[in-house]
A = this chain, B = another copy of it.
């Protein structure tokens, strides 16, 4: 049944976070220190969600590291986890991986995209040549060597990476789920296509008329939910909206690195308490960060 009107897909951050349940496969869009849907990430931690398989970005950033550090992850699929110069290797990723406390699905960036495409195409796998002659197939059971049916050349079959819920952050979307990134949107489209459902947090909700005035700018049409979240990528950048908060990221890295170096959980737990457990929602989180810091993240 319908009331005859077009339905918007805007929902609140709590409702969106409620879609994510123990054991699901979720993906997180963006790239390194940019464009992560942080209100949902923090809510996942606050909700105590466990045993997630996390498909990070092609170069995942410290948002994935944070989820690992908070104990939400069972398996991680990402060709890299890094905070660039702020933390060349994710410190929680290092800590959990080195102890065998998470399963790491080791793959290269283009194996990764072939796996996501296989899912989007309803295919069991897609082949790739990169990685032939390396150790990838020895340590990743989702890769299988085989001979190309046409020429007999040796290739890797990359098993489909199917996603339950893709989580993306973008500059803007209209109420009907038409997303417009500033910049390219990195690999976000590939997550969306490989996923059953997609949730996008946006810095701004724009009118449908604005989308129709610039349809070339629409990067993804028809996501399943839009969550309004100004500064929703903080402490990471949102292209054209604000830069990353390097000081805050360093605070996180220091906390996570303390555990890596000495096994001391204290600083990490304090970080969680201060920025994730106590602030119950995005507005409370931003309040804790404070306007002074937020307004200092000059976009140009």
Contacts and interface: CB of A to CB of B under 8 A. Distances in A.
Contacts of A144: 149-150
Size class of the contact patch on chain A: 20 to 34
Contacts of A126: 126-127
A77 to B, nearest CB: 15
Contact of A150 (B122, B124, B128, B129): B124
A142 B150 CA distance: 8
Contacts of A194: none
A2 B11 CA distance: 57
Nearest to A110: B121
Interface in A103-158: 121-129, 142, 144-146, 148-151, 153, 155, 157
A217 interface: yes
B125 A148 contact: yes
A216 interface: yes
A129 B122 contact: yes
A70 to B, nearest CB: 32
A159 interface: yes
A217 B122 CA distance: 30
Interface of A: 121-129, 142, 144-146, 148-151, 153, 155, 157, 159, 216-217
The list of the 10 closest CB pairs from A to B, nearest first, reads A146-B149, A149-B157, A124-B151, A125-B150, A124-B148, A144-B149, A150-B159, A124-B150, A124-B153, A150-B157
